[in-house]
Amino acid sequence: MPTPLSSAWTPFYKFVLPFVIGGGMLVGAVVAYLRPESMNGPDGWMRDYAWVMMLAFGALMVFIVWWFGGRALKVDLDDDELILSDYRNETRVRLANLETISGPTITNPPRYTLTFTEPTEFGRTVTFIPPQDFGFQRESEVRAISELKEAWAAARSKR
């Protein structure tokens, strides 16, 4: 049975959060367009164009959230293979084909990047979010990454 290496929150970061942020910014832009007098700002600023700023800022925020969370894949460990999934397509990659494991990033949630010797269906590098604990404890993350590194070392020694 495969061991999950990805957080259960991955679908939220990948699918829900970009739409929530985009929807919220779109609502703000519509309100700014329909009622520009309700927008407070410094003297001399153009309230009539506040909706343009809201749309631009919303597009930037959606891009940032997608860049850091939307590209994350679901990663499972199954003996000497990794199962990579974007929740539509799934592929298996031998652990021996893994070149490097890098991370965690300084983002919240932290992300790890797997680099393969040969390109996979999802490219040569794959990003995933490890399991998360509540609070500032990172026990689940450490456990999942340790398990991955141990399996990777075993797969490399069999080569």
Domain residue ranges in the chain: 6-70, 74-158
Q: What is the mean pLDDT of the chain?
A: 86
Whether residue 126 is predicted with pLDDT greater than 90 in this model: the reply is: yes
The helix-helix angle for 17-34 and 50-65 (nearest 10°) equals: 180
Residue-wise pLDDT tens digits, 72-109 = 999 999 988 999 999 999 999 999 899 999 888 887 78
Ranking 11-25, 96-110, 134-148 by mean pLDDT, the lowest is 134-148
159 alpha-carbon distance from chain centroid: 32
Per residue, the 3-state secondary structure of the chain, as one string, reads: CCEECCCCCHHHHHHHHHHHHHHHHHHHHHHHHHCHHHCCCCCCCCHHHHHHHHHHHHHHHHHHHHHHHHCCCEEEEECCEEEEECCCCEEEEEHHHEEEEECCCCCCCCCEEEEEEEEECCEEEEEECCCCCCCCCCHHHHHHHHHHHHHHHHHHHHC
Whether residue 120 is predicted with pLDDT greater than 80 in this model: the reply is: yes
Mean pLDDT in residue range 122-151: 83
As its CATH architecture, domain 74-158 has: Roll (2.30)
Residue-wise pLDDT tens digits, 21-51 = 999 999 988 888 888 777 776 666 677 778 8
What is this structure's pTM?
Answer: 0.80
pLDDT at 144: 86
